[in-house]
Structure 1
Amino acid sequence: MSDDPTTTGGAAEADPSANRDRPTPRPADPDDPVQPSALVLPAAAEEPLDERRPWLERRDLEAAYEIPGADTPLYLTPGGVAITTTGIGKSDAATTVTALLANPAIDLESAYVVSCGIAGASPATAALGSVAVADVVVDWDRKHRWDRGAESVAGADDGDAAEFETIDLLAYRPRDYVSHLDDRVVETGLRGARSVALVENDETLAYQRRYPDAPETGPIVGVGTTVTGDEFWHGERYAREVDHLCERYGVDPYVTTQMEDAATATALERFGLLERYVSVRAIANYDRPSPGESVEESFDGNEASLALAIENAARAGDGVVDELVSSDPLGIREGGVSS
C-alpha cells in the first residue's frame, strides 16, 4: 500500500517533519497569558483515530502548556495557532473546553475556535473523504425515546412515519438543543476549506462504490447540519430517526454525525464565545452497511477511508484557520496572523 493518499493508499504522505521534537509542556503563566489567534480542537490523539497528528507534524511548535482538566497538552505555533484534543465524546469535550475557557493563563478573547476531525454520514450525502463545514449543531442525546410497543413500528420496513413515534423532542425543554453558528464565521470557514485541494485514493473509491446511493466522484467541500451523540448507532433505521429529530428542529437533513461538537458549542456559549466557533468534519465512514454487509462489518468503515478523512480534515482545517485569522470576519483581532 502506498503512503500517498493521491494514489491507491489510505495514509497521509510521509512528512520529514513528522519526527521533529515537540516542546516539553510547562504550566501556563496567568501573568503572561497565552493569546492564540485560533484554537484547533481535534478529538483524538491515539491511533488509528489520531486526528491531531497532521496538525503537529506539519507545523513548527514554539511552546506547549499543561492545562489542568484538558485532555492533552496545548501546543502553540509561532503564528499563534493553539492545538489540543478534546477527548472523544461530549463529557470529554465539555471538560476540556471549559478547562481552557476558565484558565486565567489562556486568553481566547481574540481566537477563533475550530473543531476539526472525522465524522460519519449517509452515503447519499457525499463521497468518503468529503469535508462538511457545519452551520448547525444538534444534540442527538437530548430527546425522548418512547417504547410504544409493536404498533409504533408497524410499516417501518416500508419507511412508514409510524416508526418515528419512538423519537420526539423533550417535553421539558428550556431551550432547543440546537446551536446555530454565526453565518459570517461559517461562510469565511467555507471559503477557506474550498481554497485547499482535497485528496482521494483508489481504495476508498472502490469501497464507496459498494453503496448504490453514493457518488461516483471523489471528495468535495459542503455545508450543513452536524449531529452530536455519545451513542454509537449504525444502520438505516437509526439514520432515519436522526433525520427525523433534525426535521423536528427544522434543520434537516443532517450532513455529518460525530461525538463532540454540541458539548464544545455549549461550553463556548456559556462563556459568550459561541459566535467565533466553526466545526470542520471529514466523512470517514457511512452510517449504514452496504448491500450484503452486516452492521458489524461496516461499522468501522475502511482503513483507507479513515486515513483519507483524517488527511482531508486537516487540509480543509488549515484553510479554515488561515482564512478566519486573516479575514477576521468578527473583527475580534488587531490584524491577522497566519499559521
Structure 2
Amino acid sequence: MDSSLPKPRAPDPDDPISPDALVLTAAFEDPLDERRPWLERDDLVDALEIPGAETPVYVTDAGTAVTTTGIGKSDAATTVTAILASPGVNLESTYIVSCGIAGSSPETTALGSVAIADAVVDWDRKHRWDHRSDAAGTNSVSKAPTEEHPIDERPIDLFAYRPRDYVHRLEEVVVDCALEAARDVDLREDADARDYQRSYPNAPDSGPTIERGATVCGDEFWHGPRYVREVKWLCEQYGVAPYVTTQMEDAATATALERFGLRKRYLSVRAVSNYDRAAPGQSVAESFDGNPASLALGIENAAHVGGAVVDELVATDPLEIGTSDEFVD
C-alpha cells in the first residue's frame, strides 16, 4: 500500500461516514490508474476497509469518498453491494458517480472526449444464435450482419425471457446538471493522441468534446466492425441509439443501486481512450492495445470533468437529498 495514503480502518456502525459523493473508478494500477487523480485532488482524511470491496474507500476533506470496483460487472456489482450494505457507510445524502475511461466509435467522437451517459445498456443480456443451422441440425458458421441482410444473418437477438429491457435510463435532472458542469470544463488535448486519431479516416478532425448518450456495458472484450453492428442493433431495439461509449462496469453498478433504491443518484462519466475497431492498415491486436497517449488523456479528462460534475451535484443538489459543502464524518 502507498505509505502516503491513510491506513484503512474497520467501518464503525456507530459512526458511519456520510459522504456527499461516492466516486467509483474501475482500476488503480498503471497504466490504468483511474483512481490516482481523485486521491490527489483533495486531502485524504480517512480510509475504510469494507469487507467485499475491491480496495479501501478513501475519504477526502471535501466530503467525497473514492474507491475502485475492479474491472468487469461481477467485480463492480460485488464492490458496490458491499459498500451499500456496510453499516459503516451512510449514503442517504450521496450522489454516486462512475468515472473512468471507455471505448467509442471513431465516427462518434474524438479521443479524449467525455460522455455523460443518459442510458446504460447491458450488452451481455441477449441471445446469441446460429441462424444458419439447417433443418437436419448440421450447424454452419453464422455470418455477421450486413447492410443488405441486417436481420436474417444477425447472430444476436433480444433476451426472450426478460422481465424488462436491460437498459437503465438515468435520471434526467441529474444528467442535465452534470452536463451543465461538464460544458464549462476546458478539456485537455494531446498531440500524439490527435495523430493517432487521424489514422481513422472517419474520425472527427477536432479535439475532445463533451457528449451525451448511451453507454454500453459488457464483460466481453469485443472489438471490430461485426460487433459494432451488433451493438448498434441492440441499442436501436432499446430506443437509445446511437451508443457513445462502451465499458465494463456501469450496468452492474446501476443494478446494485437500483436494488437499494439509489439509482436516481447515479451518473456515468466516461472519457474516450480508444476506438472499437482497427484503423486502415492496423491489425485488430494493435488496435485493441490502443495508444498510450489517448489512454493517458482519457484518464486525465475523465477525472477533470468528473471533478466538476461532483462539485456541481453537491453544490446544487438537483434531487434535494441534502448534500452540503460541509462534510461531517
- What range is the shorter-chain TM-score in? over 0.9
Is residue 143 of structure 2 the alignment partner of residue 153 of structure 1? Answer: yes
Q: Which runs of 5+ in 2 are unaligned?
A: 133-139
Question: Separation in 2 of the partners of 1:165 and 1:151?
Answer: 12
Q: 1:259 aligns with which of 221, 240, 248?
A: 248
Measured in 2, the distance between the counterparts of 1:164 and 1:318 equals 44
Structure 1 residue 173 corresponds to structure 2 residue 162? yes
| 1:44 to 1:163, Cα distance in 2 relative to 1, 3 A | farther
Q: CA RMSD for the aligned pairs?
A: 1.6
Distance verdict in 2 for CA 1:206–1:63, change over 3 Å: same
Structure 1 distance, partners of 2:255, 2:216, is 14
Alignment of 1:168-247 (within 5 A): 168-247=157-236
Alignment equivalent of 1:84, drawn from 52, 63, 67: 67
Whether the aligned pair in 1 keeps the contact of 2:20 and 2:94 (CA below 8 Å) is yes
State the Cα deviation string for residues 44-72 of structure 1 (Å, max 9, x = none).
Answer: 01111110011112221011111110000
Tell whether the 8 Å contact from 2:131 to 2:153 is kept in structure 1 after alignment: no
- Counterpart of 1:26 in 2: which secondary structure? coil
Q: How far did 1:163 drift?
A: 6.0
Residue of structure 2 equivalent to 1:9 = none
Say if 2:272 and 2:298, in contact at 8 Å, map to a contact too: yes
Distance 2:124 2:153 in 1: 16
1:98 aligns with 2:81: yes
For residue 111 of structure 1, the aligned residue among 94, 101, 112 is 94
* Partner residue in 2 for 1:8: none
User: 1:164, 1:244 within 8 Å by CA — same for their partners in 2?
Assistant: no
Q: TM-score, normalised by structure 2?
A: 0.94
Give the equivalent residue in structure 2 for 1:121. 104
Structure 1 pair 132–113 and aligned structure 2 pair: CA distance change class (3 A): same
What are the Cα deviations for residues 271-298 of structure 1, in whole angstroms up to 9, with x where unaligned? 0000000000000000000001111111
Gaps of 5+ in 1: 1-18
CA distance in 2, matches of 1:163, 1:304: 40
CA distance in 2, matches of 1:109, 1:65: 18
1:130 corresponding residue in structure 2? 113
What is residue 44 of structure 2 aligned with on the other side?
A: 61
Identify the residue that residue 35 of structure 1 maps to in structure 2. Answer: 18
8 A contact 1:199–1:308 mirrored in 2: yes
Give secondary structure in 1 for the equivalent of 2:256: helix
Q: Secondary structure at the match of 2:154?
A: helix
Identity of aligned residues (%): 65
Tell me the distance in 1 between the aligned counterparts of 2:97 and 2:153.
33
**Range 192-201 or range 115-124, more displaced:** 192-201
- Alignment-mate amino acid for residue 269 of structure 1: E
1:102-131 deviation digits (Å, cap 9, x = unpaired): 001100010000000000000011100000
Residues 204 and 302 in structure 1, CA contact (< 8 A), matched pair in contact too:
yes
- SS of the aligned residue for 1:115 comes to strand
Q: Which structure 2 residues correspond to residues 235-314 of structure 1 after superposition, within 5 A? A: 235-314=224-303
Q: Is the 8 A contact 2:21 2:64 kept in 1?
A: yes
Question: 2:136 maps to which residue?
Answer: none
- The CA distance in 1 between the partners of 2:149 and 2:106, in whole Å, is 21
What residue in structure 2 maps to residue 25 of structure 1?
Answer: 8
Offset, 1:336: 4.0
Q: Which residue of 2 aligns with 1:324?
A: 313
CA 1:84–1:334: 2 relative to 1, 3 Å: closer
Aligned to 1:3: none
Report what 1:13 is aligned to.
none
**Matches of 2:245 and 2:8, distance apart in 1:** 34
Counterparts of 1:166 and 1:217 in 2: how far apart (Å)? 35
Q: CA deviation at 1:194?
A: 1.6
User: Secondary structure at the residue paired with 2:68?
Assistant: coil
Counterparts of 2:326 and 2:113, CA distance in 1: 27
Aligned length: 319
Check conservation: 2:20, 2:324, Cα contact below 8 A. Answer: no
Task: Name the SS for the 1:161 alignment partner.
Answer: coil
SS class of match (1:309) = helix
The TM-score, its normalising length taken from structure 1, stands at 0.91
What SS is found at the alignment partner of 1:134?
strand
